[in-house]
Amino acid sequence: MPDLRIGERGESVIDFMTEHLGGFFDLLKEILNFALRSVYDVLTALSPVAMVVVLVVVALVATRRVLLSVGLGLGLLVIQSMDLWPETMQTMASVVVATAVALLIGIPLGIWSAFDPVVRSVLRPVLDLMQTLPVFVYLLPTILFFGVGDAPGLVATIVFSVPPAVRLTQLGINQVDGETVEAAVAFGASRREVLREVQLPLAMPSIMTGVNQVIMLALSMVVVAGLVGGAGLGGVVVNAVQGLQIAASIEGGLAVVVIAVYLDRVTSALGGQGRAAPAWWPRRRPAARVPAVAAEPATVA
């Protein structure tokens, strides 16, 4: 086989993009940094204890499990006791922004691929490449495009997190019962109304599972963000490893675990998994049954 010089050709493409699309990458970097700062300002608007109370209430409403919510709150207080609250909120801001962008890209692509076999056949190898290609391979081009800081790690996180949103959205829509769709069409619903009123609601458990997977993959990339100069818990872990600081590495890793458990339990409950309704939780009363009135026998004239 002749040497195709794939690496050199890829490098020339990256050099061309760096030279001619520098303004676009700078604009995208400013947008991502602005989004990160905005979300971080919202998360740090309250004191740490007040934010813990808010997060516990959110967990309680989502899961309806008191012991789990209290345990999550205690874990968040442990993070505060380790003086890692600002770094944790920076990581949360990165996860929120990366998840939002990944879902804005992945869910529409999943809907499109569910209805178009050509798009589905094209997206499949691309998604396989995004999930299996080592993250450090496309992390270097992002550093060349965006420089050192939060932006390259955030872009790498988005690329790594998009595939579950696409795949599970497509799967959920394709698994909707065909007879249900045919019934909606028979009643005069348009294609858009069928998608909005029938297919998306029935596919929502699968879509929420995709949201959960996107969040977990985004959170797993925090260390990568630390390697390229990103702030947050990834920076804490990377600095601890480079300085052989065992105590700091344990604390940073424990904070990541607490945030991962919190996000996993809350998003799983929102998707309908692990949601319990205790006895004290207000329940919807069943509709009152109207007794059937016996029809009077018809009189024959």
Please give the model's pTM, rounded to 2 decimal places.
0.80
Candidates 238, 213, 244; CA nearest to 223 is 238
Residue 288: partners with Cβ closer than 8 Å, 6 or more residues away: none
The answer to whether 164 and 217 are in contact (CB under 8 A) is yes
- What pLDDT, in 10s, does the model give residues 129-171? 887 877 777 777 788 787 777 788 888 888 888 888 898 888 8
- What pLDDT, in 10s, does the model give residues 21-79? 778 888 888 888 888 889 888 888 888 889 889 999 988 888 888 888 888 889 889 88
> In whole angstroms, what is the distance from residue 117 CA to residue 99 CA?
26
CB atoms within 10 A of CB 139: 20
**Residue 245: helix, strand or coil by DSSP?**
coil
CA angle at residue 175 from 123 to 128, to 5 degrees? Answer: 25
